[in-house]
Structure formats: C-alpha cells, structure tokens
Amino acid sequence: MPTTSAALRAVALAASAAVLLVAAAGCSDSGDKETDQEQSKDLASQKLNWQPCPAPSEAEGGGTAPSPLPGGTAWECSFMNAPRDYAKPDGDTIELALIRARAADKNKRIGSLIFNFGGPGGSGITTLPAAAADYAALRTRYDLVSFDPRGVGRSAAVECEDNSRLDAYFAQDSTPDDTAEEKAFTDGLKSFANACEKNSGDELPYVGTTNAARDMDLMRQVLGDDKLSYFGISYGTELGGVYAHLYPAKVGRAVFDAVVDPTKTSEQSSLGQAKGFQLALTNFAQNCVDRGDKCLIPGSTPQEIQDWIIALLDKLDKQPIAGSGDRQLTESQATNGIAQTLYSKEYWELLEQGLDEADGGNGGLLLALSDAMNGRSEDGDYSNIQAANAAINCVDSKERYTMEQTKAKLPEFRRASPVFGAFLGWGLMGCSEWPVPGAWSTPDVSAPGAAPIVVIGNTGDPATPYEGAKAMADSLGKGVGVELTYRGEGHGAYNSGSTCVQQAVNAYLLDGKVPAAGTVCA
C-alpha cells in the first residue's frame, strides 16, 4: 500500500476517471447523419498543431505538465475545432483539447486509440498521462489519444459556483430529515443550477453525449483513421455505445470496461448503484471480519461492522467533526468519502483508517477522500468535473423529480442500501432545478453491422453493476457485443491486475482476435 498522500493522489485519479455517484443515465438522440457529413466536409480536413503539453488548467484539476514516457516519448497537445451546434454546420465552433503519445513501433502502427475514462466530466488530458503505464502494451501499435469532452476542462468548460460556494454546497446535508433541511437542500440545488446558467448558459444545451459522440467521429477523421479504435471506461462505455449507434460502419476495434447499463433510466441506475455500493461495502466488512483483531473497525460480523458505520454517520448528521483547517466533516462528505474508496479494493485500507480516525474525532482523511471525488485540490481549487457532470447528465436525461416523487422512492432506496440508499435516493433531484431540458430516458446503442465490441463486466463493481455488461452487449446487437466477465472487486477490470483480462483485450486491440463470448476471468 502506498503512503497516504500517494494513495490519495491515486484516489483523485480514480475520481477523475469515474464520477458516477448520483449520475443520471446518459442519453442521446439518433442524430442527423446528413448534417454530420456536411460538417465533416468543412472540418475533417483541419490540421492539428501539436505542441508540448502545458500544465493542466484549474478546470482540469491543476498540477504539472505530464512527464515524458519511459523511453523519452513526449506528450503532445492540440486543439480541434468542432461545431457548437451540429444542427448549424456553418455556425460557431468550439475548441476541444486533445492529448496524444505516439506509438512506439511506427512500422506496425495501427492508428489512434481514443480513450474516454468516464465521468461524465473527467478530463482525458490529465487522466491519460497519469494512467499511461497501464496501457503501455497498447502503445506498441497505437498512438494513445484522449481529450476533454465538450464542457470539460479546456474544452469550453462549464463553469458554475466559485470555490467557497462549492465548499458549502458539498458540505450541505444531502439526506434532509425535516422541512428546514429539505428547503436548504433544494435551495442549494437551485443556487448551483442558477450559477451554471449565469456563467455557462450558452454552452449548456450542447454538452450532451450525442454531440460528444459526433465530436469523436470528427476526431477520427482529423486524426486520419478510417475507423474508430476506442477504449471506453465507465461513462465512456455509454459514449462508445452512442457512437456505435450513430456510426456503426465506422466502428473499428473497441473495448468497453466498467459498463453502464443503457437500458436503465436514471432512477434505475441510481438504485442499481445503491445495491452495488452496498455489495462492495459488505465485501469490505467481510474482509475486516476475516482479518480479526488486525481490523480497526469493531464487529464480529459484516452486519455489526455496517451497523457501526451507520451509527458513525448518524453522529455526523447530528454533529460534524473536525476535518481539515477550518472545514468540518459532515455526514454527506463522509458518505461520499466512503463510496470513493469502494471504487478499488486497493483503497479499502484508506477506508478502514478514515473510519477509525473519524470515530476518534478526526475527519481529515474521509474529507480528503470526498474532496477527491468532488475534484477539490489541496489548495482549495475545484476542477470543473462536478459542474460538467451535472451539465452532461441533465441535458441527457429528461427525468426531473419533485420533492414528493423523491420522498416516495426513498423506502426502496433504503432497502437497497442502509448506508447509501438515502444519499443516492435524494440524488434523484440532481436535475430538478436545471435550466435546460433533458432529452431521453435511455440511450439507443443498437449498432447493427458494427465490428465486434468487447464488453467487460466486473462482478464486484459498485458503480456500474455487473448486470449492465450483458445489457450493453445485448443492446449493441447480435454479433456486435461480446461479453467478457471478470470475477473481482472495484470499478473496472483491465486495470485490476488480471492478466487474463489484459491478455484478452490486448489480443483484440492489437491483433484483432475476438475473445470467445462468455469468457470468464478470475
């Protein structure tokens, strides 16, 4: 286990790759392909001006410029022009930020492999360099490419509230217990949405998944590839599915890992997450029990450990504790921090430590874990990951829940998870005050005639439950979705350390060998 500070940096990376808590099911329309083709004629021939990458912007999370890869390959960055509104091909354009590392073996180069690491709202500009070591085998034959999707980072970023107001927003009670707390909760949602409209109103209608998929096809053309080679993770699988539906003939070799269920509405997805995080927490508790006295959390059964955690959260609901500086740890932030550690079994040790310290009155570690999920740096600056997450989800999903509708759903959510149920149930109201209407309940990802897409489900995934992989494979269509199962813990499979998963994925992306449908990796 790395040191706490190093581990928190890793957690922050995981957060930038997958911000799925309370995420609505992203949706898209079928698009206007004739308009897309017209736009391609004008913009597909643009030449990218690749330059050494600067340090990430504040909206991307800050930090230092990416270091060269082992062997000296430097990261290159550029901007690609894309239409703000694809219905107006001759209208205004926006700049989309791209990053790449060239293939190691130029003689055997296949083309560009485009990554989307999830969110929605995660910056590919910062995530790809940080995770590049995991994909070194793929760089032998591909240029590794990622991007900040529209609304994210350096790509016409959505801006909402300032740092101090975001501190208050994320600290507020997100599981209200009485009328006063309910009003504070809805006031917070309204204030956040109003700030987004004030600061980014011109961009909000255009940041949805459909336009991001169109951007990827324009990117494919500008990069000089006949077909799209793609690696989508978490929300990136939904984006990939929408792309496959819009452009089935342009799908090359593609892999979906940590798969979003395209058949579920935002409510169904949130309920699935409640069950998924509950399963992961139970597995954590069982691990604690198995370790006996070595575990810092009291309890001789998983249920006793869960009851202890619930009691701790109840105490924080009544009285927050010291966190970091003058900031306190609230119940909402503690719940958020707990969920963050369940994205990977590697972070269970941090969860155990954070819970133990919070029981002793020190909420610093759980607060830092929650900050990582919310995109807050140690110096108090926020990236725009949560602003972009809200903007993309709310323009995709048409569901708008009232207070009465939400409260009626809470019993089912609490049954699904005594720890996370109320937290995720109240999250149904996340788009209730949004100024731009949503379009759909679920995306269409059917892609008849597309090349095989490898779809990987992880049986212990808390954020994108395992069942979603089969739903995606079935929805893509016969002969397109090829399901592979990983029996493990955490969010995703390729980066889990499973040699079996990596070999199957590498064999497909590098050599075109499609794994047998139903392959199981332990």
Q: Which residues are catalytically annotated?
A: 234, 461, 491
* Residues written for the chain: 522
CA distance 466 to 450: 23
Amino acid at 115: F
Distances, alpha carbon 511 to alpha carbons 141, 237, 507, in Å: 10, 21, 5
> What DSSP state is assigned to residue 454?
E
Question: Among 337, 230, 277, which residue's Cα sits nearest to residue 491?
Answer: 277
The pairs formed by 164-169 with CB atoms below 8 angstroms and a separation of 24 or more are 165/191, 165/195, 166/374, 166/376, 166/382, 166/386, 167/327, 167/376, 167/380
CA distance 477 to 471: 10
DSSP string, 381-413: -B-SHHHHHHHHHHHHB-----HHHHHHHHHHH
Residue 112 CB contacts under 8 Å (≥ 6 apart), including other chains: 100, 142, 143, 145, 220, 223, 224, 225, 229
Helix (H) or strand (E) holding 486: strand 481-489
The CA-based dihedral angle spanning residues 344, 347, 348, 353, taken in that order and rounded to the nearest 10 degrees: -160
Instruction: Please say whether the dihedral angle defined by the alpha carbons of residues 252, 258, 263 and 265, taken in this order, is positive or negative.
Output: negative
CB 134 within 8 A of CB 294: no
Q: Which pair of tokens denotes residue 343?
A: 């994205």
CA distance 397 to 429: 12
> What DSSP state is assigned to residue 428?
G
CA distance 449 to 245: 10
